[in-house]
Amino acid sequence: MHPMLNIAVRAARNAGQVIVKGFANPDNLETRQKGQNDFVTNVDLDAENAVINTIRKSYPEHTIIGEECGELTGSNPDYQWIIDPLDGTTNFVKGIPHFAVSIALRVKGRTEQAVIYDPIRDELFTASRGAGAQLNGYRIRTGKAKDLTNTVLATGFPFKQKHQAEAYLAMFQGLFVQCADIRRAGAASLDLAYVAAGRVDGYWELGLKPWDTAAGSLIAREAGAIVTDFVGGHNFDRSGNVVCANPKVLKVMLSTIREHLPESLAN
């Protein structure tokens, strides 16, 4: 395992311990609203501190960008850690056991290492660029579907952009009538990891942030999936609009999404 991936795994597991402890003691949970339909808890912050402290112990000069901490600029800006200490906070707050720690390392703008850790299931998804993706040490590959027939897709509702509900629901309907079923589980990082592992055949969502997708997009790509924005480009980091699937499924998903794509999402 690459030394920097090893540190990412250690950081994810340390955060996972914080999260599991917090999940088992809901009476100690402190929640506040930081935006519309957007929550943060004391466990998010404690888990983030666990990640930051672990990374800083080994790489004090690196920059860390996190959902809660913002950008902590280091003396070497070529190395950026993109972290989401608790992806799926709403699930966590509601007692739904589906959430994860997401950590990615970018070197000179290119994602090189990625970890997604589900502490409830003790599932560790990892990838190093060019070396494939793994789940608990075993190689994973995306599914082999050739079209949407009999596929299961994953998605996320645009709860922070409800003004896009009409366009999103049109995409949903267009895809739903072609596939077997659709899941909405509530953690973007795990949706991408599940595409990588072949558990779902494709995934799309709008309005995401870089820390939602940085680790999952590398893990998915290393497992054989393609990750694009809604028009098939590589602008999803900026637009927040993501589609992920194997090449054949992706092609059908993109053509369906384009039929219902308003100007405001065509980027």
Question: Does 208 appear as a known binding residue?
Answer: no
CB count, 10 Å around CB of 195? 30
**What whole-number distance in Å separates Cα of residue 267 and Cα of residue 140?**
31
DSSP secondary structure code for residue 198 in this structure? T
Cα 106 from chain centroid (whole Å) = 15
The answer to whether the CB of 115 falls within 8 A of the CB of 189 is no
Q: pTM for the whole thing?
A: 0.95
**What whole-number distance in Å separates Cα of residue 257 and Cα of residue 170?**
8
Question: Does 148 appear as a known binding residue?
Answer: no
Question: Does 46 appear as a known binding residue?
Answer: no
Q: Where in the chain is the domain with CATH 3.30.540.10?
A: 3-139
**What whole-number distance in Å separates Cα of residue 25 and Cα of residue 193?**
27
Question: Does 87 appear as a known binding residue?
Answer: yes
Nearest to 135 by CA among 122, 144, 145: 122
Q: Where in the chain is the domain with CATH 3.40.190.80?
A: 152-265
What are the Cα distances from residue 36, in Å, to 158, 162, 238? 12, 10, 20
Nearest to 128 by CA among 8, 226, 41: 8
pLDDT (0 to 100) of residue 19: 97
**What whole-number distance in Å separates Cα of residue 2 and Cα of residue 132?**
12
In the CATH scheme, what architecture does the domain 152-265 have? 3-Layer(aba) Sandwich (3.40)
- Tens-binned pLDDT, residue by residue, of the chain (267 aa): 799 999 999 999 999 999 999 999 988 889 887 766 677 889 999 999 999 999 999 999 999 999 888 899 999 989 999 999 999 999 999 999 999 999 999 999 999 999 999 999 999 999 999 999 999 999 999 999 999 999 999 999 998 888 889 999 999 999 999 999 999 999 999 999 999 999 999 999 999 999 999 999 999 999 999 999 999 999 898 889 999 999 999 999 999 999 998 877 776
Q: Give the CATH superfamily of 3-139.
A: Fructose-1,6-Bisphosphatase, subunit A, domain 1 (3.30.540.10)
Question: Does 118 appear as a known binding residue?
Answer: no
pLDDT (0 to 100) of residue 37: 63
Instruction: Quick: pLDDT tens for 227-250.
Output: 999 999 998 988 899 999 999 999
